[in-house]
Structures are given as structure tokens and as C-alpha cells.
Amino acid sequence: MAQEREEKKVLLLLDANSLIHRAFHALPPLTTSKGVMVNAVYGFLLALFRAIKEFNPDYIAAAFDVPSSTEGRKKKFLQYKAQREKAPDELYAQIPLVQAALKVLHIPVFEQAGFEADDIIATISRVAPLRQAHPPLETVIATGDADALQLVSGRIKVYALRKGVQDSVLYDEKAVREKYGADPRQLVDWKGLRGDPSDNIPGVKGVGEKTATLLIGEFGSLEDLYVALEARTDIPGISLKLKQTLLEGKESAFLSRDLATMSKDVPLDISLPELSWRGFNKSEAEEFLRSFEFKTLIPRLAELSGESSQTARGGEKEAIIKESVQSQADRLLKDGVLSEQIYELEIELDPVLRRMEDIGIAIDPVYFRALGKELEKDIAKLQDDIFKDTGGPFNISSPKQLSEVLFSRLGISPKGLHKTPGGAISTASSELEKISGESPAISLILSYRELAKLLTTYVAPLPLLADPNNRVHTSFDQFGAATGRFSSSRPNLQNIPMQGPWGERIRKGFVAAPGFQLVSFDYSQMELRLAAHMANEEKMIEAFEQGKDIHKETAAAVFGVPEARVDKEMRSRAKALNFGILYGMGARGFANSAKISLQEAQEFMDGYFLQFPAIAAYMEESVRFARENGFAETLFGRKRFLPDIYSSSPHIRAAAERVAINHGIQGTAADIMKMAMVLVSKAPGLLGGHCEMVLQIHDELLFEISDDMIQEKAAVIKEIMETARSFKVRLTVQAFAGKSWGEQAPLI
């Protein structure tokens, strides 16, 4: 390899606009903590770093479009690219950010009025070798579309991104011939006949891909084809109808070829030495990545400069994050949100979370790519079924089109559905569920949305967000929710469905390193246990202490039957209400949740409160306390201020009352989880090479533990979590272990 590098040098040309568009549409909406959209910047840098690592270029340049880029071609054909929808403003806003990144990386940028980025690349690829005859120069064009394939030659290759920003193919002359059945230089002739719908290049009307391929394969060029058409009456393989079509479309064919041909005559005054890439200032580049919170790119940056990942994740980064958390905690303490006890807890927790972020969790990218293809097939099948049931195709993701189909085409009554702030009938999933019985298409639409969200939020992006060791590094925000719960972002690993086959299958893609297992520790019904303690509800306390099924016990009490006669439906209703009560759910909410009538729901709730009067009293006291003080509070002093508790609007006031009931229980549970994490981190010799805490999800902690240490470590972790604090009801933790997060068996 070293000898090969001595014999040639590499020029890497970046078709920046196409790469930015590819990244923007391939990745989910990634934003910084300040709300700045950066998915295109992240994806562009991901592709750039991969290309640099793969080709080790000696020279680099990036080409951009400018607003007047298409003027030259529009003078020839006014409709050139006229049908293209304007890209979202969120995409255009990121172009200057990409240019700033290139400046930091010392990569020169070129743009020219009247010419597109393609033309600039074609010009540089032609000019650069003439300025540097020795040693030989190989040019690699990194792009997000196929237009540059016409430039492929013995010394020029195209590195094309396909569906994502890490799914790429390298085209040489052989690869182009295999894919298109033509030499690279013939692709513009092929487009002259076929056209290019994406750029509104017309081609010859009535000539498709197959015909264009056959004609160019037979005649080689438009000139030779039309010489034959005009000189010969009968040509084998060309019908009289096709001949007439081609002759009538001759002018369009040559115009289309002209439009598709990249110009190699952009007036650029450059020499190859100007494109020489000598790397970048490491500190400056790291600072740039930090400013956009691109945590997983920092180790890749270090690889490009020949340093270790550990250096890139060093003390300076931790100090910056530490300062941020410290300042947030100081402000919340000053504002009265945090008690002194919780303030100290949050400060102690900070380095624990930073360590978890740096370690990350491993994924199986091959598994996720296969799962993505399966999801795409299921989504396509759902789409076809929806179109059959609704009478034709439409954009299912468009609220406006969906509303028109449901309420105009199908004639479904919108009575009882909420409206958006703009006055349109809401097609949110919660609203569609209310009318799910009106058409079979609605349940299909809800399933379509669920699968599409899983694909775009987890299955497709996760392999793109992994580091070179296939580990994903989420960002934890310990102040991410008013209850005190964590939030997770870039990527969010806390909203993977807990139930259902797809949730389990996504979890199977999270794997342990060789010689390790993923071990989860889940607090069992923690919020219900805390409710029993805080309300001092003796029946519940007794049921928990005796190890009874609390939902079955509740159903037996409310229905007035022996526990042995409680069936599955009874238990399901009791479970829905047990948890619903914690969130201040009323009779209507319970009716929707349990799928029963409002009258049945009210009767069931009345019976519930008769059997558990202390729970009813706790709810009333929580609301009274919030009205008197303006806030709700956890057992450990984390406050949530509730100005809406005094609202004159019944709906707004009722929502605040539900929060008042919920905050004490859910917030206390969040406090306990954080206490347990700090205690685990402080346990002598517990964490380290053989055992690491890698993820926190609601009431669950996930560890990566070596096979030979699982029983020993798990026993200690379970004991710490269960005894983090003492209550009238003992906290219990269930432990499960397996090679993946989705395939775990009970441990202890």
C-alpha cells in the first residue's frame, strides 16, 4: 500500500450541495440543545470523514452551487429544473454551517455564478492533472447523485452515496458499464434520449431507459444514431414508429444532451498546489464540533489526525459540560426548583452520565440494515392497502391530504375531533383513534405511522450515528423533564416501544461486546409502590409486602370477586386504572384507555376509590397543596411550579391538577433512580473494565458486564438499587441478562 501511494497522489472533489441534500433527507431532524437544526451538517461531515479515511487525499476541494447556478442552462431551456420543489429552509440554513466546517478543516471552497457545482468539479478534474503531470494523479469525486458518472475515466472515479450517508459505491469505468450498459462518456448521449426527470431534462418523448440503452449500445452516440436514421430507410431493430419518434425528437435529444453535459470551462484560476491538504488545527476543529454537539464525530476527527479516541474525549470536553450542568443546577437551586439534597445529587450525578455517554452502547449495524429493509416492505404493503381502502394514492404524511381523503373522499364525520391552531381538523394519532371504527383505513394509517416512525427514528439512523467501533453515544440531559426524569437525544434511546414485537426486535440490535452480556435492572412497579407509601394505603402496602399481583388484587377488590375468579379482562382494567390514577386520569380518559363506556368507567372508578380511600385522599391533598402553594413537590424536595392551577379555563386548570397528582410520585421515582446511579458509581470496585453502566431508560438501568462477573456484579447492583431509600413498601428490582437487549432471560 505504501508503494502504491508513492506512485500516485489523490485529489478528492466534494460535490457539496448534493452531499448536503443527501444528508438532510437521510438523517432525522437533529438539533442542538439551542434548537439549531444540524442534521445536514452532521451527515456531510460523516461522509467527508469517511471519504478522507478511505482515500487519504493529498488534495481536496469543495464545490457549491450559488443562487444563479442554473442561469446558464436556463438560457438554453427555460424549464430546466423548473419542476423541483424548493428545499426546506432548514436545509438552506445549514449550507453556511457546512462552509464554516470546511474552513475550519482548511478545505478550499469554489463557486461560480452561472455554473453549477457539477461544472466546477468537471473543470477542476480536467485542469488539475495538466498542472501536475508527475506523479500521476487519481481524482475521486464524492457526490450524492449520479451526474458525475459521465466524468469517470481511467484516472477519475466517483464515490457516490446511495440511500444514506454511509452507504456508498465507488464507480470506475467497469462499474459504470455494468450498471448502465454504456461507457461513462456515453451517459450524456443516453440522457439525450432518456432525459432526466429529476432535472426536468426532456429527452425524446416516448423513449424510456431500456430503449435508450439499446440505441446507445448499438450506435454509440447521438451523432451516429441520427446519421443512420437520416441515411437509411430501414434499420434492423428500429420500428417505423420509433424512427418517427426519434426524428421528431432530434432537437430535444441534442438539447437534452447539452443540458446534461457538465461544463469543463468554468473560468477558475486555480493550480493543483492550491488544493494541497495539509490537515487542520486539532483544537480549532474539536471546538467547532463541540459547538454543534457532534460528540460522536470527535473520535473520528482524532483518527484523521492520527490521535486516539480517548484524547479526543478528554478533560477539556468534560470541563465544558461540567460547567454547563453546574450552572443549570445553580440556577434551579436559586429558583427554588431544587432542594439542597437534590442539588447535591445532580452535581454528583453529572460525571456518572458523562462516563455513560462516552462508553456508549454497541449496535449490530448489519442487523439494523436488514431490519430496515423488512420495515420498508411492511410500510410499502401498508401504503398499498391504504390506497386500496381510500380509493387512490395520496401523501399519507401530509395532514392536509389525509384530512381531505378521510373527511371529503370517504365522508367520515369529524364530529368530536379537535382542531389545529390554524383551524384545520386534527389528524393526530390520538384523534384518529377516536374514529378508528369508521374505516379500516384508519387503523392501517396508524400502523403506517408507527412503522415509519420506527424506521426513521431508530432503524435507519442508528447505524449512521454509531462510532467506528459500532457504539452509539446518546446525550443525557438530567434536567430534561420537569419531573426530574432524564431525557435522551442524538439519538433518543428512551422512546423505543417497551411492548410489542417491533420494540423487542429493535432492542435485539443493541448488543454486548464479545465476552460480555447486557444486564438490565428494572424497578418493579416503582410508582405504584411509591403511591402506596405516600398515600399510606394499607391494602396496597399489604398486597406488595405479601408479594401479590397488585393488579389482580385491585380487580378482586373492585369487582367484589375472589382473586381466583379474576379474569384477564378484569386484571387489564385494574392495571389501566392503577397506572392511570397516578397521572390524574379521569373517567373519560379511563373509558378510552380501557375501551369501555363512560358510565362503566365512572362506576369502576367509584368502586376503586371505595376500596382504596387513601389513594382518593392523596389525590385530593395533592391538588389542595398545589393550589395553596403554587407548586407540587417530591418527597426529596424537587418542586414543579404550576401557575396554571389558578387558570380560569377549566381545561387548563384540570391539566395542572393532573400534574399536581403525578409530580409527587413520578418525580420521587426519578429522584430515586438518580440516587441509585450515584450509589452504584461510588461502590468500591463495582464499575470498571468488567462492568459498566451504559444506559438509563425510565425505571431501568442497563449494564455491560463480562460473562465471568455477571452473578457477582448483578447481586451488588440489585442490592444497591433496592436499598437506595427505604419506604413502607420495599422497592424490588428484576434483573435480566443476554447477548442483546432484546433477548434477555431472568437472572436473579
Question: Buried b / exposed e across 203-226, counting CB within 10 Å, b at 16+?
Answer: bbeebeeebbbebbeebeebeebb
Q: Which CATH class is domain 2-260?
A: alpha beta
Higher-confidence residue of 387 and 229: namely 387
Residue ranges per domain, the chain? 2-260, 527-668
641 DSSP β-pair partners: 631
- Angle (CA) 712 717 718, round 5°: 100
Instruction: Let me know how many helices (H) and strands (E) the chain has, helices first.
Output: 33, 18
Longest dimension (CA), the chain: 101
| DSSP reduced 3-state for 695 | strand
State mean pLDDT over 375-399.
89
Is pLDDT above 60 for 2?
no
CA dihedral 344, 345, 347, 351 (to 10 degrees): 150
Radius of gyration over alpha carbons of the chain, in Å?
Answer: 32
Q: Of the ranges 139-148, 300-309, 471-480, 707-716, which one carries the lowest mean pLDDT score?
A: 300-309
- Categorize the per-residue pLDDT at 87 as very low, low, confident or very high, splitting at 50, 70 and 90: low
- State the pLDDT at residue 710: 96
Tell me, letter by letter, the H, E, C secondary structure of 247-301: HHCHHHHHHHHHHHCCCCCCCCCCCHHHHECCCCCHHHHHHHHHHCCCCCHHHHH
**Rounded Cα–Cα distance for residues 663 and 660 (Å):** 6
CA–CA dist 440, 456 (Å, integer): 25
Mean pLDDT of 338-355: 94
What distance in Å separates the CA atoms of residue 157 and residue 175, rounded to the nearest whole number? 10
CATH match for 527-668 among 3.20.20.70, 1.10.940.10, 1.10.150.650, 1.10.150.20: 1.10.150.20
pLDDT of residue 340 exceeding 80, the answer is: yes
Hey, CA dihedral for 704, 707, 711, 713, is it positive or negative? negative
Q: Which residue has the higher pLDDT, 60 or 77?
A: 60
Mean pLDDT value across residues 371-378:
90
What confidence category does residue 353 fall into, taking pLDDT thresholds of 50, 70 and 90?
very high
The predicted model gives 253-264 an average pLDDT of 80
- Give the cell for residue 527: 410508582
The confidence band for 321, taking pLDDT boundaries of 50, 70 and 90, is: very low
State the pLDDT at residue 374: 92
pLDDT at 738: 96
Q: Is the model more confident about 271 or about 745?
A: 745
What is the 3-class SS of 50-103, one letter each residue?
HHHHHHCCCEEEEECCCCCCCHHHHHHCCCCCCCCCCCCHHHHCCHHHHHHHHH
pLDDT band at 690 (very low <50, low <70, confident <90, very high): very high
- The lowest-confidence range among 84-88, 207-211, 269-273, 557-561 is 84-88
CB burial of residue 3 (10 Å; 0-12, 13-18, 19+) = exposed
d(CA 170, CA 158): 6
Q: Hey, what's the cell of 584?
A: 390524574
Residue indicated by cell numbers 386534527 = 426
* CA atoms in the 13 A half-sphere facing the CB of 316: 10
pLDDT of residue 166: 64
Grid coordinates of 382: 401498508
User: Where does residue 556 rank: exposed (0-12), middle (13-18), buried (19+ CB within 10 A)?
Assistant: buried
What is the grid cell recorded at 742? 432484546
Which pLDDT belongs to residue 82? 43
For the stretch 15-32, pLDDT in tens is 998 899 888 887 777 777
Nearest to 483 by CA among 267, 687, 337: 337
pLDDT at 69 > cutoff 70? no
Q: Where are the alpha helices (DSSP H) in 455-517?
A: 461-465, 501-508
Q: How far apart are alpha carbons 294 and 30 in whole angstroms?
A: 10
> From CA 372, how far away is CA 370, in angstroms rounded?
5
The region of weakest confidence among 97-106, 561-570, 671-680 is: 561-570
pLDDT digits (tens, 9 = 90+) for 507-520: 999 999 999 999 99
With cut-offs at 50, 70 and 90, classify the pLDDT of residue 233: low
pLDDT of residue 79 exceeding 80: no
Would you place residue 621 in the very low, low, confident or very high pLDDT band (cuts 50, 70, 90)? very high
C-alpha cell at 180: 448502465
